[in-house]
Structure 1
């Protein structure tokens, strides 16, 4: 019987994206004994990796590129090393931008509209500090401005992104599950 797997993610939005995408990759999290665990920030990777390993789990995860030092340190690797062989995948620079880029600014409009957030987003776009930003950056900032919104849109974007456009770190993590 294969080892249980623990996928470590920094926050609830990361968890929501992985859970939304897993079935699209043929991964039944419950049937495969896979837990997606929110660790509450990158500084907790060391403790979380150790705890899962002690339980006999294979451990992988997602992290934002600026937090690589925590993951590398927890894995006894150097910053800048390829951590994908250990099952850890960097979002560049973060999951929100990875997903927004994969879907595209124009294709985000129906998601905003369906979720009742298009008017609020348009007001956000019109604020002086965001008015001159690129639409992709506006979307990233809007989605990331609120924790509940991040999780909601991570699920919506995970369900909506074209399969061939799934961001590399999410695709890598979900494919890594099958690698052992």
Structure 2
């Protein structure tokens, strides 16, 4: 396990709390010296997608000191901000979240002093004001903090970027055309748009989201990279 992996493991244990938290905090502080930026993402598939895209650009995020840390679910963002943010390790932060979790992320970013008050006040105002065609709490405000928002989730972004036919080609290359056809035949899936079926299919087995995060990003045309993923990589 390299230093950034040790850091991510320690941060997760510290954020989880419990009897092991003090030892995990000490381990995280020890490993933090090699960390330039912490990227907080909802799940492991987001981490895989960002690492894969970085590799396509000839970048090694780990070697650059960018620790991509899965939260294990968006509801854990507050704990990880407490650990990694101004009141904890004080490291530069960035992240990726789903549109449904955006307000939750914004609320906790403001709570720890990012985007609310002081220099962050302008960012908070921008977030609260939204932007053209966007509701409150969306748009450039979070991006100014390094946090980028997927329209529904990363799978939805990748499916729209590749198109259904392109995703079906990737599924075929993974040897999963038959399982997908079986999935399409389930009563709950009949009559639903193929894009919806594809998105649901990716979440049916443990590890499948990460498998397709890597495969879909590897298959993307360089000009079709989803904006949140592209902007996050550019930010870090």
Of 128, 133, 137, 1:80 maps to 137
Contact 1:13/1:147 (CA < 8 Å) preserved in 2?
Answer: no
What does residue 102 of structure 2 align with? 68
Q: Which has the larger radius of gyration?
A: 2
Moved over 6 A (4+): none
What does residue 32 of structure 1 align with? 64
1:91 paired with 2:150, answer: yes
RCO comparison, higher one (Cα < 8 Å, 6+)? 1
Deviation at 1:119, TM superposition (A): 0.2
CA RMSD of aligned residues (A): 1.8
Structure-1 separation of matches of 2:57 and 2:144:
19
Contact 2:35/2:67 (CA < 8 Å) preserved in 1?
Answer: no
Structure-1 separation of matches of 2:228 and 2:82:
22
What does residue 44 of structure 1 align with? 76
What does residue 129 of structure 1 align with? 188
Of 116, 130, 145, 2:204 maps to 145
1:173 paired with 2:232, answer: yes
Q: List gaps (5 residues or longer) in structure 1.
A: none
Aligned positions of 1:153-164 closer than 5 A:
153-164=212-223
Contact 2:39/2:66 (CA < 8 Å) preserved in 1?
Answer: yes
What TM-score results when the alignment is normalised by the length of structure 2? 0.70
What TM-score results when the alignment is normalised by the length of structure 1? 0.90
